[in-house]
Structure 1
Amino acid sequence: MALLAARPHHPAMSPLPLAGLAPAEAPSSPHDENSHGAASRGGRTRPALAAAGLAAVALVAFFGLEGAVATRTVLIGGACLVLWLTEVVPGFVPTLLLLGATPVLLGPLDSAYHLPSVLAWCADPVLILFLGGFTLEVAAMRHGLDASVARHVVRGSAGHPRRLVMLVMAGVAFLSMWMSNVAAAAMMLAALRPLLKATPAGAPLKPALLLGVALAANVGGMATPVGSGPNALAVAAAAEHAQVTFAKWMLFALPLALLLLGVGFGLILLRFRLGGRLSLPAEDVASAPLSRAGRRVLWVSAVCVAAWLSEPLHGVAAPVVALGATALLFGTGLLKREDLGRLDWATLLLIAGGIALGRLLEHSGLVARALSGADLEGWPVPAQLGVLVVAAALLSALMSNTGTAALLIPLATQLHPAASTPVLVALGCSLGMPFVISTPPNAMTVGEGLDSSELMKLGVPLMLGGCLLVSLTGPTVLRLLGLP
């Protein structure tokens, strides 16, 4: 699961994961997940960076470019990118700025920039797909499906430390595939908290579990199109060359996520010697049965996911399936009117802004103009893609991954026009995870007592190895799946 504004865990939406536990409070950060927590940054640093960035944008626009369209496009797009990357304002604010400023500044120069045309840039089916994913997430939290997964993970370990770490990672990654990685990490940490508190100081189990939670929350989001904001931007950008179905995305991204999880689990076992047996109080691992409504939500979710994966067989587009699932959940009363306000509208606006920014840069010709002065066409294609993937990972490790994707995907598709290019950049964005400030799950685990240096010891080799793997094998695998 980036600059996406994920909702804090709401006590009324999900039962307590374990007896006597209060749900963990998720930071006000993005879906997907791979977003940056505001709390992890200095209160003065971000405004200063934003001010410097805006000043640099103004200098480039007024003194480095010729032509009114280019100047005004840089002012609009540059200001939005600075605000997204520094996170000095909520993530949806730059989207509103872009939608309002484009008709005002560029509309008088060309009718193609009038408000109806600009709004049409945002009318992408991927937003409906994400709306369906958010609806399933809210339904799962309201009726306790996420808490049930967390309880079953703890109980399924049967007191074996290695099995517990493996199941925790699998459970968090599975939840992050379909819902906010912040919520997934928060729920699992709440389920583990009694065990973490009971673990003696210096015991290897605690850092091993916390590392497992952080890694799985970061990696799980890359496995599905609805797992993170960069994925949505990649699907929208790739549509100009080929359709990226739900099944196609999972065919290449799920094995990659599983491989990274397996390598991460192996590194955790190498780093920490886990042995012996755990003593888990019966009341802490007791699994309350799902309510009747919870079972109905489970069935709706299962049918929806099955329809997404079988799209090539029945021909019903994934966004249409998402609309049907949303209508069914609200129409049958499984979700109430007040749940509509719990959907992640801020994230939808953020994704819409990223799509609109890409269309603005493309329509104005600014990206092509910027690349025309760079002698990159002589580079081998694998080298070009490798640079893009590494740049995406490094920027996402320090800043918003959705803002990074909004910046790099238009550049990448102009440099190498192909359906696979934005997909590879999006995967690179999900690999930026070695620092405490890289994602909210990282910050949450450090808050639970994990040493930030442990994140770097595990995260840096995974990031570099993942970038190498994606760059070298990604184009070939995607070509085999019909995404040249």
Structure 2
Amino acid sequence: MTAKWKVIVAHRNYLIAWLTPLLLLPLPLLVPTKEAQCGYVIILMALFWCMEVLPLAITALFPVLLFPLMNIMDSTTVCMEYLKDTNMLFIGGLIVAIAVEHWNLHKRIALRVLLVVGVRPALLIMGFMSVTAFLSMWISNTATTAMMIPISQAVLEQLHKSEHETSPVEHGAESINKAFELQEVPHKSDIYQETQKQDNGHVLTVEEEEKLKDEKQLQEKQHLTFCKGMSLSVCYAASIGGIATLTGTTPNLVMKGQVDELFPANNNVVNFASWFMFAFPTMLLLLALSWIWLQTMFLGFDFRKNFGCGVNASVKAKQQMAYRIIKDEHKKLGPMRFSEIAVTVLFILLVVLWFTRDPGFMTGWATNVFNKNGKSYVTDATVVIFISLLMFIIPSEVPTCFCYDRARQTQQDSTRQIPTLLDWKTINQKMPWNIVILLGGGFALAKGSEESGLSSWLGSKLTPLQNIPAPAIVLLVCLLIATFTECTSNVATTTLFLPILASMAQAICLNPLYVMLPCTLSASLAFMLPVATPPNAIAFSYGQLKVIDMAKAGSVLNILGVLTIMLAINTWGFSLFDLNHFPVWANTTSTASCQ
């Protein structure tokens, strides 16, 4: 029986892939309506996404097959959903991020900030968290974590090594740990007497050996604890930083695309500038709370020692040795090359153009220049594609014809073709095309729900919720999504929930953004399990963490995250998006009674 069960478990994906569609088949057969048929597709895709029976991107292709067969949408209309404006925004953002990674600009920024912050325990955690969060605002959370974790481990190993080398009490190769002043420092007279005993050839007693052994174990335990805290701080900061910008993490783009799909007349209410003004303060607050919590959990409550106040010369020497590691890594990068300067300038130009395109509080350049009949033809995707194209036009080196030292030029230098900042081979290797398809599948589902009438049907069934206070609804849904995203992809979570939440908001005459915005941010609160998000898995792969460590730290952060999001949406988010009123752009035929 055990052998048969093992065979079933080994082939479970095949069984689920074949049996699930058959078991769900009575739904569209017994209820022959378009709403039921669309529901069949959504339930099937939800189960496949949750159990990861197939690659997520392959499951996202189901609407291309099933919607035409069920007469919900024709094939041409479905396929058009897979490359919308939001997909191009995602692609352009990734191209810029790949350029930053390709020329190691992100590593230079990280090391430079760490040199400024220093290596005192609490400040070291703060430095790694702030750098990781900033980088993950612009480049992949996974890539940021994969770069920052090895740097943090190298610094911690050097700190640990320096503790052995500078400790005054040694027996063989062992030493007593006083790193970071996390334990009481022995009195100088005791150290002197112990040293004298060893110098005079004194053989340690059993009690003395046991004491040194216990102190050695305590040293290793404290080092392991600090390594755990540092690994968690990096992976958590990567997830938190991604919520600050529209292109920082994929759920944000899913939300932007769903709003544009479900409410075409929304007047571009969610753009880079408006999202940043709402999410960036939220990110800063949550990052600060996370830093305080991780510092308390892994360094203790003695904040004076955590900040390196009143440390002795021995501890300062250890910190200087670790600081030298960061400095040496920074020196290896050398001076900034032309390619790094060019990418930096283009990156800054991109951010400025995004912010000034349509900031909301003033007329943007897109409205003044590219506006016709009250409609702006330029979006955030247009801007980022423009910058992306420049990456393939600008050379990565200064052409030799512009060099002043012509005497050093050779014939080979003058005829050599200088590569551009980016080439297609680099893009093709690093571009996650599966996410582009996954985004498109989500937009196809949203469109299919609208065309089949499933959205309206769901909205009508959710009208009893209007008797519950709106903040309570948002709090419950945020907690649900924060829990759900621990087990499933955050992209799949937002793709499945946001159309339902939009229908619910319309049915109870609530501004859809009041529900969709906080729930999108909650999808990034994947802190409890290694499988919840790639940054967690990278941190877990280094072997210092146990699942229980991540669960303890992450459960508190999940609660802090939901409370922070609730504070944000009910304060500055409320006025920023005018959430007190049901907007005209959300008023469809099904919600004509909403005023």
TM-score range, shorter chain: 0.7 to 0.9
Q: Which residue of 2 aligns with 1:12?
A: none
- 1:226-375 equivalences in 2 (<5 Å): 226-239=247-260, 240=263, 241-243=266-268, 244-273=270-299, 274=306, 275=308, 276-277=315-316, 278=319, 279-280=321-322, 281=325, 282-286=327-331, 287-312=333-358, 313-315=364-366, 316-332=378-394, 333-341=420-428, 342-374=430-462, 375=464
Partner residue in 2 for 1:98: 63
Flag the 1:55–1:208 CA change in 2: closer, same or farther, 3 A.
same
Q: Identify the residue that residue 206 of structure 1 maps to in structure 2.
A: 227
Matches of 1:74 and 1:429, distance apart in 2: 23
Counterpart residue identity of residue 358, structure 1: A
Query: 1:312-356 deviations in whole A, cap 9, x for unaligned?
Result: 221252111011011111122211121331322221111111111
**Could you tell which deviates more after superposition, 317-326 or 121-130?**
121-130
Tell me, in whole angstroms, the C-alpha distance in 1 between the residues paired with 2:337 and 2:349. 19
User: In 2 relative to 1, CA 49–362 (structure 1 residues): closer, same or farther, beyond 3 Å?
Assistant: farther
| Aligned mate of 2:471, from 382, 387, 400 | 382
1:16 corresponds in structure 2 to: none
| Cα distance in 1, alignment partners of residues 17 and 471 from structure 2 | 31
Residue identity opposite 2:500 in structure 1: L
Letter in 2 for 1:229: T
CA distance in 1, matches of 2:10, 2:291: 34
> CA contact under 8 A between 1:396 and 1:432: conserved in structure 2?
yes
Distance 1:49-1:395 versus aligned 2 partners, 3 A rule: farther
Percent of paired sites with the same residue: 24
**1:441 to 1:259, Cα distance in 2 relative to 1, 3 A:** same
- Aligned residues of 1:150 and 1:191 also touching (Cα < 8 A): no
Aligned residue identity for 1:283? D
Alignment CA distance shift 1:437-1:344 (3 Å): closer
Mapped to 2, the partners of 1:425 and 1:230 lie a distance apart of 10
Structure 2 unaligned segments of length 5 or more: list them: 1-5, 161-219, 300-305, 309-314, 359-363, 367-377, 395-419, 507-511, 580-595
1:447 to 535, 541, 555: 541
CA distance in 1, matches of 2:7, 2:96: 35
TM-score when scaled to structure 1? 0.83
Q: Are positions 1:163 and 2:123 aligned together? A: yes
Q: Which residue of 2 aligns with 1:456?
A: 551
1:245–1:311 contact (8 Å) kept in structure 2: no
Secondary structure of the corresponding residue to residue 416 of structure 1 = helix
SS at match of 1:445: helix
Show the counterpart of 2:37: 72
Measured in 2, the distance between the counterparts of 1:90 and 1:150 equals: 33
The 8 Å contact of residues 199 and 205 in structure 1, kept in 2 or not, is answered as: no
Asked if structure 1 preserves the Cα contact closer than 8 Å seen for 2:282 and 2:568, the reply is: no
In 1, Cα distance between equivalents of 2:10 and 2:122:
40
1:251-273 CA distances to partner (integer Å, 9 max, x unpaired)? 11011111111001111221233
Q: 1:404 aligns with which of 488, 493, 496?
A: 493
Change (3 A) 1:471 1:161: closer
2:467 alignment partner, SS class: coil
Instruction: Report the Cα offset of residue 58 of structure 1.
Output: 4.6
Alignment of 1:65-214 (within 5 A): 66-103=31-68, 105-106=69-70, 109=71, 113-200=73-160, 201-202=220-221, 203=223, 204-214=225-235
**What letter corresponds to residue 350 of structure 2 in structure 1?**
C
Contact 2:20 2:44 (8 Å CA) reproduced: no
- The Cα of 1:236 is off from its aligned counterpart by 1.7
Letter in 2 for 1:306: V
Residues 206-227 of structure 1: per-residue CA shift (max 9 Å, x gap): 2221121011011111111111
Q: Return the alpha-carbon distance in structure 2 between the equivalents of residues 191 and 75 of structure 1.
A: 48
Tell me the amino acid that sits aligned with residue 540 of structure 2.
V
Q: What displacement does 1:483 show?
A: 4.9
Within a 5 Å distance, the mapping from 1:35-54 to structure 2 comes to: 48=12
For 2:9 and 2:38, locate their aligned partners in 1 and report how far apart those are by CA, in whole Å: 27
Q: Please tell me the root mean square deviation across aligned C-alpha atoms, in Å.
A: 2.6
How far, CA to CA, are the matches of 1:44 and 1:435 in structure 2? Answer: 26
Do 1:424 and 1:470's aligned partners in 2 also have CA atoms closer than 8 Å?
yes
Q: Is the 8 A contact 2:485 2:493 kept in 1?
A: yes
Q: Secondary structure at the match of 1:430?
A: coil
**What amino acid is the match of 1:481?**
L
Cα distance change of structure 1 residues 63 and 323 upon mapping to structure 2, 3 Å threshold = closer
Moved more, 237-246 or 165-174: 237-246
The change in CA–CA distance for 1:216 and 1:402 in structure 2 (over 3 A counts) is: same
CA distance in 2, matches of 1:357, 1:444: 31
Shift of 1:154: 3.7
Answer yes or no: is the 8 Å Cα contact 1:61–1:71 preserved in 2: no
Report the Cα distance in structure 2 between the residues aligned to 1:270 and 1:309, rounded to whole angstroms: 37
Q: Aligned pair in 2 of structure 1 residues 270, 360: CA closer, same or farther (>3 Å)?
A: same
Take 2:490 and 2:267, find their aligned partners in 1: how far apart are those partners? Answer: 24
8 A Cα contact 1:242 1:419, kept in partner: no
* Separation in 2, partners of 1:50, 1:427: 34
Amino acid at match of 1:223: A
**Runs ≥4 in structure 1, deviation > 4 angstroms?**
42-47, 49-58
What is the CA deviation profile of residues 349-381 of structure 1, one whole-angstrom value per residue up to 9, with x for unaligned ones?
111111111211222122433454453232222
CA 1:98–1:63 in 2, change beyond 3 Å: closer, same or farther? closer
> CA separation of 1:372/1:381 partners in 2, compared to 1, >3 Å: closer, same or farther?
same
Kindly provide the CA deviation profile for residues 132-156 of structure 1, in whole angstroms up to 9, marking residues without a partner as x. 1100111111111122123224433
Q: Give TM-score, length-normalised by structure 2.
A: 0.69
d(CA) in 1 for partners of 2:351, 2:297 = 36
Distance in 2 between residues matched to 1:482 and 1:74, nearest whole Å: 31
- Give 2:278's aligned amino acid: F
How has the CA–CA distance of structure 1 residues 192 and 465 changed in structure 2, closer, same or farther, with 3 Å as cutoff?
A: closer
Does structure 1 conserve the Cα–Cα contact (< 8 Å) formed by 2:107 and 2:147? yes
Q: C-alpha offsets along residues 26-48 of structure 1, whole Å, 9 cap, x if unaligned?
A: xxxxxxxxxxxxxxxx9987974
CA distance in structure 1 between the aligned counterparts of 2:350 and 2:131, rounded to whole angstroms? 20
Task: Pick the structure with greater CA Rg.
Answer: 2
Q: Deviations over 1:428-468 (max 9, x none)?
A: 10123222221111121122212332322222122112223
Give me the whole-angstrom Cα distance separating, in 2, the residues matched to 1:49 and 1:227.
Answer: 32
Provide the rounded CA distance (Å) in 2 between the counterparts of 1:432 and 1:45: 27
Equivalent-residue separation in structure 2 for 1:362 and 1:455 (angstroms): 40
